[in-house]
Every structure is written in C-alpha cells, then in structure tokens.
Amino acid sequence: MINFQYLRTTTAKSAIALLVKDKNAKFLAGGTNLIDLMKRGVTAPEKLIDINHVPLKEIKQVGNKIHIGALASNTAVADHVLIKEKLPLLSWALQAGASAQLRNVATVGGNMMQRTRCGYFYDIEMPCNKRQSGTGCGAMEGFNRMHAIFGTSEQCIAVHPSDMCIALVALDAEVVLASTKGERKMLFKDFHRLAGDTPHLDNNLKADEMIIGLEIPINNLAKNYHYLKVRDRASYAFALVSVAAAFEIADNKIIDVRLAMGGVAHKPWRLTASELFLRGKEASLNNFEQAAQLAMKDAKGFGGNDFKLKLAPNTIIEALNLAKSKA
Amino acid sequence: MEKNMLKDENDRVDGFLKVTGKAKYFAEYELPGLTYGVLVTSTITKGKITSLDTKAAEKAPGVIAVISHLNKPSAAAYEQEGGPQMKIFYTDKIFYNGQPIAIVVANTFERATYAASLVKATYAKETFNTDFEKALKDPKAKKFQGQADYKRGEENAYKTAEVKLEERYFLPIETHNPMELHGIIADWRPNNQLTVYAKTQGVKATQGTIANVFKIPIENIQVNSEFVGGGFGMALRTWPLEIATVMASKHIGKPVKVVITRMQMFTMVGNRPAAIQTIGLGANKDGKLTGITHRAYGETSTYENFTEGVVNMAKFMYQCDNVNTSYVIIPVDLGVPIWMRGPGEATGAFALESAIDEMAHALDMDPLEFRIKNDPETDQQKNKPFSSKNIKEAYKIGADKIGWRNRKNKPGSLVEGPWQTGYGVSVGVFNANRGKASVKGILKADGSLLLQSATSDIGPGTGTGMTLIANKLMNIPVNKITFELGDSSLPPAPSQGGSATLSTVGSAVNDVCVALKSTIAELAANSNMDATANFVDVLKKNNLPQIEITKESQSGKEKDSYSMYSFSIHFVQVKVNSLTGVVKINKIVSVGDSGTIVSPKTARSQMVGGAVGGIGMALTEESIIDHRYGRYINNNFADYHVPVNADVPEIDVNFINKPDPYINPMGAKGMGEIALIGFSAAVANAVFNATGKRIRTLPITPDKILA
C-alpha cells in the first residue's frame, strides 16, 4: 500500500509546526482535488495534515474589508449574506464552479490550491512537465482545446481551473499567509504564477506557509456585475472561457471597472489594459468591443484552442453587456 | 410489504427498493471468503508483451494470486487453436491501449489495487493507428463490408436530380457510461459448479458465454443479475474482464469480485463507434425525393469485427424509387465497440435526418411538410404494408406542442440580443422486434400470481410492464403479482436489447395468463362453479394450493406479411448565443408511435431518458483520444460530459398509444431505441434554423458554433 500518515490538528500554529517537520506533508481540507490526485498517482504525500478542525471558517466585515477564513466552504461563502450583498461577483463565480456537492466540502484555501485539470497532468503514462519535469508537454501538440492562450511557456500550456479565483483577482483581494515566522499578506494577483520554466509550481506559497484567509475591500461594484462562464455543459464543467466583469457607473460613465478571465492562462488573468481603457469612458458596446480587443493582445492559440481567440473577446463583450444591463 | 408503497397501479414495482437502497446490485453481494481482483492494463497501443514482472505484486501484502498469460489458468476453449483473437491471458499480443493484461487478486480491494500498480510490463511496440479519419484515407488500411450493399432503382440517382446535395457527417466515439460500474463476482466451486453475480443485459447469454469458454455444462452455471444500474448496450456481452474473473476464481478456488474503474469503463466495455457518413439526396422542384444514397463507414477493432444498422433507415423511411446504401467497417487499434442505445440507427439518423432538413432548406420548404410529402404508404424495401404507422398524427401532435407555427423557414430570423431561436424536427425509427421467450406462471390460492422469466431489467421497468400485462388479463391487483427476472435458472428469455423485451417476454406473459385463465375456467366447470368464479375459490374448491403453467411464445407468420417498425418524432426549440456559441435546449416534445403503451409511467421515463441521451449525443458527449499515444484523454466524469440537470429542459412526452394489430397480443411495440434515435438531428436542425450554421460533426460545442 502507498501508506501515508494521517494527522489531525485544531490550531493553525500546530498545523504549521507539523507541516515544516516534513517536506512531503500536505494539508487536507475539502480534499476534492487532492484525493483525486492521490488516486491517480499524481501525488503521494507521506503525511496528510487534516486542518478541517482549525477554526478558520469565519466570514465577517472588519472595517472596510470582508474577511473570509481559508476553511470556509465554497457554499458557505457563496450563500453568506455579506458576500451576496457586498461582493456578489464572488458569490456568482463560486456558484458557477463544480457541483453543489463539491462546493459543500471544497474550501476557499483548497479552491486556490487546486491544480490544473489538464488530462496529460492526470495520466501518469503521458508526458507532462508539470507532473514530471523534463517529460515534455503532452498538450502542446496534442489535445489542447481547454488550454491557455495567454502567458504560456514552452514547458506548459495548462490553465488554472478555478472560478472563485477569477472573481478574487478582479476584486483586489489579499491573501493572508502564516508561517512559523508570523503572518504576511500578499496581493491575490501575485498568489498564482505563470508556468514559465517552473511549471511544477502553481503559486508563490512557501513550503512552510499556510493560507489563513482572504481580505477583500468593499467596493462600489455590487450593482453592475456579471460572472459569465462558457462551458461544454450548463453545470459541472470547467470553463472554456469565463469572465468576471463589474462596473461602477454614473450617468452611463464608467467610474471603476474590473475585468478578469478564467480558462485562458496558468493563473487568473486580470485584464488591466482593458480596464484602463474603459475607465472614464461611456459604457457602450463600441467601447466594450475595443476593450475586448485590447485584452487579446499577445493571445496565442495552439490549434485545438484557437477558437478561444474569438470566444474570449466575445465573452468579455457579453459579460460587460450583462453587467451593464443588470438592474 | 414494499409493494404497498405503490401510489397507483402504474408505479414502478421495484421503485421503492431502488430509492431506499434495498435493491441489490451485483457488486453488493458479500460471499464468504470473497476476494478482490484488480486488472492491470496495457500502457502501449499495439505490440507484444516481452516480459511481465509480477514478483513485487505477488509479495505485496494480502495478494493471493497474479494471473496473466504467463500462468494461463485453465479455460478449455482458449487452450484450443483458433477462435477469437482476444483470448484474455492466452495471448501476449496487445490490441489496444488499456487492454487487460493481468489480474491481481488480494484479500482487500485496496491491496489488490496497490499490488496491481507493482506489475511491470515491458513491450515490443509496433506502429498503430487509432485515428478513424486517418484509417479511412489510408489506401492500405483494411476495410470490410459491414452490410450487403443495397440498391433499389438507379444507383446515385441524386446526382442527376433537379435539386441535389451531398454532405458528409462525422460522429465521434461515445461511451455508454451507465452510473453503475461494470464487473462481476465469480464463485467457482469444486466439481465445476459456478455461481456468478453479474451486471448483464442477458443472464442466459452470460451463462452461455462462460459455458463455452470453460467447456462446462450450462446447468453448472448460475447467473444472477436482478438489478442493473444502467446498461445502454454495454452489458450485452460477456467481456474479457468477466472471463478473467471467472478464471481467477477457478484458479484460486475462492469467490472473486471485480469492479472496474470509471477510466476502465472507456476501454474494457465497448463504446458507440465513430462513424463517417455521406448522404446524397436528390429531389424534384416540387419536393419529391428522387434519389437517396447513404454511404457509411464505421469503426471496428483489429481483433474482432463490429457492425450495426447505420444505413437501415434510408431504405424505407421515405418514398423514393432510387435508393442505394453501403456500409464499410474499418479496424483501428482500439477496443471493440458494442451497441449503444439506438445503436447504428441513431448514428444513421443523425446523418439522414440532417440531410433531409438540408434538402428542405434547399427547396425552401418547411422540413415538416417535406417529410409529410415524402412519407411512404408502404415499405418500399420489403414491399410490404406497415403493420401500423401513425406518423402523420405524431407530426401534428408534436408540431402543435412545440409551437412549430412560430418557426420561420428562413434561418436566423428569431433574434433577441445575442440569442437566436430555432426549431428542429427529426424522425426516429427502429425495428419492432419480437423474439422467443418462456414465462412460468404460478397462480396461488392466496390470490397471488408469481411470474418468472430469465429476462433482465436494465432500467426500463421490465417487471412493471409484465406486471401490468398480467394485471389487465387476470384482474389481479398489481401488489399481488410478482415478476421475477435476472436469474438464469428461470425459463429462458433473450437478452434485453433492441427494444424487444416487452414485446417478446410480454407475449409469453400474455400466453401464460391466457392459459391460466382457461385452466381455471376448466376447473370451475368441472367443479360445477360459475364460469366467472374467482380463481381463489376455484383453487380452494379443488384443494389446489396453486397451479403452474410455463409457456413459450414467439411471433408467427404475421412477421412475413408486414413491415414492423416503431417510430418517434422529436421536436426541439433551441436558443443559441451568437457571442459565446452556447446552445441551450429550451423545449423538447417527443412523440412515440410504438403501439399500445402498456406501462405509461415507465414508458414516459424511457422517452425522457432517450431525450437526455440525445442531448448528450447532440451537444456534449465525445470520447477523445490522443492518437499519438492511443489513449483516452477525457476518461472521467468531469471531462466526459453527460448532460446534467441544467442542460435538460422540460420534456413533453406524448404517445399515439394505438395498438399494432399484428406485432403481438398486446399490440405494443418497443420504444427504448426510438426514444433516442433521431434526437441529435433535431438539435442540429434547430441550431441551423436558429443560426444558419449547419453543424455536421457532433457534438455541437461552442467552438463549432463560433467557427
């Protein structure tokens, strides 16, 4: 048997202490991705540190920010009155992800840590630089319909699979991390990485760190927003392309705007240039179309995913239209 | 007691058992000393095993045996020359990626799973091809005739027609993926006595196959399969993995259970093969068809051929004097396919019914009118009248309910923001079969009736249908009738496939009931009772605890005089987002013309299930292979997209419900297949009507809409 040690702890401090003791230890939260990876032989941690009993489930407002504990379930966050009222974009994005059953056990921290769904990554008989360095990228010249069009590398064209994270990057969230040295904060946009020459790394979490929670500034984006996820079936499918869009509009003029895309890159893809273009402009179809075109600069298809070069700008336009028309 | 839960007479007789978890499926049987088998599979696509290192696996904790071609456990038929190429554990040849090459048996499933990962094979690899398109183009690829060429009138008459079209249609591999995983429990006892708990669509077929392989008398084998968690055709044969399990049990002298993984469901139990089809249609300007040519190519394996009825429909569905068809199968290095719901007819109907729609468009005719105009009065292929056919009535019901009057003949006419609305229609047709089956009826003085037959229920509600047939004839309440199935010791019946069970086994139920009634009437007369006396009183008066009659039933000469088919019409309304390419089915109306509806609730469920399967075929399902490796890339439920609730709108099911005068005593024709056949074309036709885009490659995913 591929044995592993199962440990359970009730404080973040002891969890971190257990983690640093063993290089091959992993935190177990909802387990909706980790257990699959273990079953498929993609990963084989020697220690599983069950952190489900660490009290990090709280969702609360502190000053002008919403704090979300790393172990709050996806369902708890999506359904929470604070999130629905103040950060509805996040609630929508969460509900677009996975299935109700998965959302009930999957946690915020786990959602951030989930690994790509690239088929080559999961099949240990196939080449994959992310799983095993130097074996090559199976998707590059293989089945890459689901794969990235932005920020790809020679090593890896996988996409980050989360919906929640697309909303979080748009909402300027911050991640609170803890280690034996204390706590630090990181901008959410800096949490995930591009594949580059290190496709085995999905994020910038250090080996001795634990995700404690999120802090999200309250904004004026709760009225005109939309999370549009285009997928192969209406539920329980990963995004071909998804767009998180939110505005603050006054007299049809865009005061603030947030745009981020999923299903297109190795990390949640914030559309900074498009936002910059739209800020101060009229919320018109023409401007939406121009913003969408701006977003596509440097996009590159790999054959199977060439359709995303058309789908992505279309989805941006449609998401902006729907955000604008939201009453 | 459970039966009292029935709210009305049409409820599924085993519904209570199923929803409370009391229905026992094969994998749930616990036998004393049960062991667990896990299959090791090939990681190359073609070649030979040069060595197989099983030492580490054999030494792993709990392992009882590792069985492979190295130790060839006894299987009499495999020890002889000839026979099938795929003799599991009797060949070192690899025919496809994922082929079982060894089975590890251990005292727990987890230990067997781990030990299986320790078996290391080395191979001599050969070049291979899993790409059907490539095989079709390759002049050196083997090609076999899958069905005799058919010609009526002039060949390729469409080419000289006033209005003509020729189009090519592609259908990818689909995998059945019933919820229940496949497998078997085999318990081989001394003196060659074998009991198996199987997931099968035919207990007699399983019994026969095992008897043939191991050369033991059929009577020595007991096959149990009372409940099946979905089959859709994949359990219509006994697969190598099942033979492997029986071998293992015989070898170690203990019962062995094998339940394969979801991933193995893609490589060990068949699929709906890919198909490439060309349809040529010719019509005169008035909209009369003058030529139909249907040429189909189907995928098969290199070690066994597989054929299905892809081009059947073209031969009789429309009035046309010039029809020719051909069907060629081409081997690729994949596991052998198997019939999947609606089998070849669903594949063929996608192409033919799309082409019919395309022709209507070319003629600027309403596709419904075009179909009605070309509806034949008799079967031109068999030159016989139809036993019953109410297709025009079905067209009318469906058209009214979907709101066909709101459809515009010009594509892309109904637009609201980015959403385009379209309507589509398609026909489904399948042989109305009736085979041979036996049923035993035991009428008891306690007022109950027990019926028994070795048929199966893979979900359509066989027991319910049979109970209702008996209920009607015998006037016995449904909760006093029990129908037993899924047991090879019961009177023989064919496998559940080809929409034939209700017709075949139901006829035997009918015959048994008629015989029981006449026996009761005789007994009543002999004991000076009124002819209308209750059977309980008659039995009691005659001091009989029960009477027992077994009847074998099959079709008679009516089969020679009539052409017998079940028909369906599917109407769909779709909305297509022109920006995102998303297709949403808004409304479905299906009309079944399959004779008498014996069991309205389960019949409706069949039609609903067929439509859901049809949505999958049309919009979401495709088994994707990386042809460089010959391996499936989406072999799991997250990536192989069966429709979910959010994809399925309300399905309005309607039946003509008029008895067929000839098919069988109930007047009921099968409907499992027609529920799905044609559905995918209705969607493709609706998408065209919405957008003006004709998608000839399934499934219709957003990328194809945007292309």
The pLDDT assigned to B28 comes to 97
Q: Please write the tens of the pLDDT for every residue from B303-347.
A: 999 999 999 999 999 999 999 999 999 999 999 999 999 999 999
* Alpha-carbon gap, residue A308 to B136, rounded angstroms: 30
Q: Please write the tens of the pLDDT for every residue from B462-505.
A: 999 999 999 999 999 999 999 999 999 999 999 999 999 999 99
Same domain, B469 and B597: no
* 0.90 surpassed by complex ipTM: yes
| Cβ neighbours of A311 in B, within 8 Å | 580-581, 702-703, 706
Please tell me the distance in Å from A40's CA to the nearest CA on chain B: 10
Contact (CB<8Å) B644/A2: no
Q: Which two tokens stand for residue A44?
A: 């084989």
Q: Please write the tens of the pLDDT for every residue from B84-132.
A: 899 999 999 999 999 999 999 999 999 999 999 999 999 999 999 999 9
The secondary element (H helix, E strand) that includes residue B114 is helix B109-118
Residue A45 lies in a domain: yes
Same domain, B361 and B439: no
* Alpha-carbon gap, residue A20 to A180, rounded angstroms: 9
- For chain B, how big is the Rg over CA atoms in Å? 27
Q: Is the CB of B649 inside 8 Å of chain A's CB atoms? A: no
Contact (CB<8Å) B626/A126: yes
Same domain, B545 and B577: no
Mean pLDDT of chain A: 97
| Catalytic annotation present for B81 | no
Give the domain-ending residue among B513, B528, B554: B554
Query: Residue range B564-584: average pLDDT?
Result: 98
Residue B259 lies in a domain: yes
For B406-460, the three-class secondary structure string (H helix, E strand, C coil) is: HCCCCCCCEEECCEEEEEEEEEEEEECCCCCEEEEEEEECCCCEEEECCCCCCCC
Residues 84-123 of chain B with CB under 8 A from chain A are: 110-111, 114, 117
Contact (CB<8Å) A1/B418: no
In CATH, what number is assigned to the domain containing residue B78? 3.90.1170.50
Q: Please write the tens of the pLDDT for every residue from A27-65.
A: 999 999 999 999 999 999 999 999 999 999 999 999 999
The pLDDT assigned to A1 comes to 78
* Alpha-carbon gap, residue A74 to A92, rounded angstroms: 11
Same domain, B428 and B487: no
**Cis peptide leading into residue B100 (ω within 30°):** no
Cβ atoms of residues B427 and B678 within 8 Å: yes
Residue A180 lies in a domain: no
Q: What are phi and psi of B140, to 5 degrees?
A: -90, -10
* Alpha-carbon gap, residue B495 to B373, rounded angstroms: 38
* Local confidence band at A23 (pLDDT 50, 70, 90 cut-offs): confident
Q: Please write the tens of the pLDDT for every residue from B417-446.
A: 999 999 999 999 999 999 999 999 999 999
In CATH, what number is assigned to the domain containing residue B630? 3.30.365.10
Residue B390 lies in a domain: yes
The pLDDT assigned to B83 comes to 87
Contact (CB<8Å) B706/A142: no
Residue A29 lies in a domain: yes
Count up the domains in chain B and report the number.
3
Same domain, B261 and B281: no
Residue B343 lies in a domain: yes
Give the domain-ending residue among B554, B572, B603: B554
Residue B304 lies in a domain: yes
The secondary element (H helix, E strand) that includes residue B705 is helix B702-706
User: Among B259, B245, B243, B244, which Cα is nearest to B206's?
Assistant: B243
Residue A28 lies in a domain: yes
Same domain, B388 and B362: yes
Same domain, B439 and B428: no
Evaluated on CA atoms A251, A253, A258, A263, the torsion sign reads positive
Same domain, B636 and B672: yes
Cβ atoms of residues A213 and A68 within 8 Å: yes
Q: Is the CB of B697 inside 8 Å of chain A's CB atoms? A: no
Burial of residue B519, with CB atoms counted within 10 A of its CB: 0-12 exposed, 13-18 middle, 19 or more buried: middle
User: Among B668, B672, B567, B678, which Cα is nearest to B341's?
Assistant: B672
* Alpha-carbon gap, residue B204 to B189, rounded angstroms: 20
3-state helix, strand, coil in chain B (%, to 5): 30, 25, 40
Residue A315 lies in a domain: yes
Same domain, B111 and B197: yes
Mean pLDDT of chain B: 97
Q: Which two tokens stand for residue B91?
A: 């060949």
Domain assignment of residue B485, given as a range: 435-554
* Local confidence band at B461 (pLDDT 50, 70, 90 cut-offs): very high
Give the domain-ending residue among B554, B577, B592: B554
For the cut 80, the answer to whether the pLDDT of residue B1 exceeds it is no
Cβ atoms of residues B455 and B505 within 8 Å: yes
Q: Please write the tens of the pLDDT for every residue from B51-73.
A: 999 999 999 999 999 999 999 88
- Most B CBs within 10 Å: which of A101, A232, A305, A320, as the mutation test of the B interface? A232
Contact (CB<8Å) A119/B110: no
Residue B320 lies in a domain: yes
Nearby residues of B375 by Cβ (< 8 Å), 6 or more positions away: B318, B319, B391, B392
Q: Please write the tens of the pLDDT for every residue from A280-295.
A: 999 999 999 999 999 9
Residue A285 lies in a domain: yes
Q: How far is CA A170 from the centre of its chain?
A: 11
Domain assignment of residue A319, given as a range: 224-325
User: Among B570, B698, B593, which Cα is nearest to B641's?
Assistant: B698
Q: What are phi and psi of B610, to 5 degrees?
A: -65, -40
* Local confidence band at B10 (pLDDT 50, 70, 90 cut-offs): confident
Same domain, B505 and B649: no
Query: Residue range A222-232: average pLDDT?
Result: 98
| Cβ neighbours of A240 in B, within 8 Å | 702-703
Q: Please write the tens of the pLDDT for every residue from B589-642.
A: 999 999 999 999 999 999 999 999 999 999 999 999 999 999 999 999 999 999
Residue B141 lies in a domain: no
Q: Please write the tens of the pLDDT for every residue from B247-257.
A: 999 999 999 99
Contact (CB<8Å) B111/A1: yes
| Cβ neighbours of B707 in A, within 8 Å | 307
In CATH, what number is assigned to the domain containing residue A33? 3.30.43.10
Q: Which two tokens stand for residue A72?
A: 């709050």
* Local confidence band at B511 (pLDDT 50, 70, 90 cut-offs): very high
Residue A236 lies in a domain: yes
For the cut 90, the answer to whether the pLDDT of residue B532 exceeds it is no
Same domain, B422 and B565: yes
Residue B23 lies in a domain: no
Contact (CB<8Å) B702/A311: yes
Query: Residue range A201-222: average pLDDT?
Result: 97
Residue A273 lies in a domain: yes
For the cut 60, the answer to whether the pLDDT of residue B4 exceeds it is no
Residue B87 lies in a domain: yes
Q: What are phi and psi of B256, to 5 degrees?
A: -125, 135
Residues 120-179 of chain A with CB under 8 A from chain B are: 120, 122-123, 125-126, 138, 141-143, 145
Count up the domains in chain A and report the number.
2
Query: Residue range A125-136: average pLDDT?
Result: 98
Q: Which two tokens stand for residue B366?
A: 């309403």
Same domain, B427 and B439: no
| Cβ neighbours of A234 in B, within 8 Å | 584, 644, 646-647
**Helical spans, DSSP H, in B448-588:** 462-474, 501-526, 535-541, 558-561
